[in-house]
Amino acid sequence: MAKLILNRFFLGVLTLFAVSVLIFVCTEILPGDVASAVLGQGATPEALAVFRKELGYDIPSYMRYWNWLVGVLHGDLGIALTNKRVIVDEVLPRLGNTMFLAGYAALIAIPVAVGLGVFSAINEGKISDKLANILSLIAISFPEFFIAYLLIIFLSVNVDWFPSLSTVFKGMPFSERVYQTTLPAITLTLLVAAHMLRMTRSSVLSVMSTPYIEMAFLKGAKRGRVITRHALPNAAAPIITVIALNLAYLVVGVVVIEAVFVYPGLGQLMVDAVSKRDVPVIQACGLVFAMVFVLLNTVADILVILVNPRLRHKR
């Protein structure tokens, strides 16, 4: 089993290396000139040449990638072009805000989605099951920004329960921070809970067709007991995978939500960097998002191996 876990870890590192190359290449082929975008159209050719040399654009791309990669491995993400601040000092507080929002949404979404998924499986074909399916389909069908604006209209503008802008800052009391992030957390919950609910329901129902489940029914066990005691543990592997994917989405997919609520997270920082063409910040944000995504998927793979003994042995 240790070999399998090490193999998953090695694949995660390899994937992250490939993503780092992709991020660097994509930012390199962006149209336009970085120096002109930062200094403006009125900059003299001499000033542009000096700035390009300062950015390292006077050396080949592969050497700049190597220097960037070595810096990243030493915890140095570079200097922002727009404000000359150390990128790590900007990224870490924003990442903390994003993780807080994602954790808040996950605390609501996971128990609700798994609970409703099991409840729908127990009541398959009944009105409650059909209602859960319809509501989850509606939640999946709407784009995330549309749900966010609907919640702002109903819960902020009409009834004034929550603020339309989620302003958080360092030193804010925990209760106030929770209140400020409630509306974007509800938006994210509606988005990911529907996916997890449907996956939990389908995973449990697929296990229900196996012979040992039929034997449990023949012995007179009730449907709810069969699902919770026998079907749910064997359906855990796909449920863990979909939960991990949705947790990753909560972290890396919050760009739109943070932009709508003007939430000071990593996604908002990346949007600002793109608008200002601050390439080192874009690269840093993209790499951090990729690290979180790969890490969560690697943890999910390891958990699936732990809960499913059949994956520990070669067939």
- Report whether pLDDT(150) > 60: yes
Two structure tokens written together for 88: 């790590």
pLDDT in tens, 285-296: 889 988 888 888
Instruction: Report, as an integer, the average pLDDT of 43-72.
Output: 80
CA 191 distance to own-chain centroid:
12
SS (H, E, C) 34-103: HHHHHHCCCCCHHHHHHHHHHHCCCCCHHHHHHHHHHHHHCCCCCECCCCCCEHHHHHHHHHHHHHHHHH
Element (H, E) at 254: none
**Highest mean pLDDT of the ranges 102-106, 203-207, 278-282:** 102-106
Instruction: Report, as an integer, the average pLDDT of 133-140.
Output: 84
| Number of neighbouring beta carbons within 10 Å of residue 312 | 12
Bigger pLDDT: 87 or 56?
87
In angstroms, the CA 301 to CA 17 distance is: 19
Bigger pLDDT: 261 or 249?
261
Do 183 and 261 meet the contact criterion of CB atoms below 8 Å apart? yes
Is pTM beyond 0.85? Reply is no
In angstroms, the CA 58 to CA 54 distance is: 9
In angstroms, the CA 105 to CA 192 distance is: 9
pLDDT in tens, 204-252: 888 777 787 777 777 777 777 777 777 777 777 778 878 887 887 777 7
Sole residue written with tokens 């070999």: 3
